[in-house]
């Protein structure tokens, strides 16, 4: 994982191209949440995104911030399971696009 530019970090939060071709960012996903558990999950995703932005400002890939715990655990679990920080829907022919 490399440091994110401010532009890329903000794009992740506001609008990025997803696999299905729709522009969606973490903020949009928060408003699509259908339960309190999903809201908490999306808030953690937002916290992760802010940590990536703050990290990029100090030339680090990521800085842990309050509220990122659920997303941080998801990323660690994904890396342990299939070697990629991204969710399976982002894999390209079964391979991590971040490598």
In angstroms, what CA-CA distances link 24 with 12, 82, 84?
A: 8, 24, 21
Q: What is the mean pLDDT of each run of 10 residues along the chain (99 residues)?
A: 79 66 72 90 89 92 90 91 86 80
Q: Cβ distance 91 to 97 under 8 Å?
A: yes
pLDDT of 89 reads: 78
Q: Which residues contact 22 (CB under 8 A, 6 or more apart)?
A: none
Residue 26 pLDDT: 78
Residue tagged 């022919």 (tokens): 93
**DSSP structure class, residue 15:** -
């Amino acid at each position: 994982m490399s440091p994110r530019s401010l532009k890329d970090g903000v794009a992740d939060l506001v609008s990025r191209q997803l696999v299905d071709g729709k522009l969606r960012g973490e903020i949009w996903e928060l408003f699509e949440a259908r339960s309190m558990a999903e809201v908490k999950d999306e808030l953690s995703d937002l916290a992760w995104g802010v940590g990536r932005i703050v990290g990029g400002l100090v030339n680090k890939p990521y800085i842990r911030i309050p509220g990122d715990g659920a997303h941080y655990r998801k990323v660690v679990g994904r890396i342990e399971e299939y070697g990629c920080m991204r969710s399976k829907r982002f894999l390209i022919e079964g391979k991590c696009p971040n490598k």
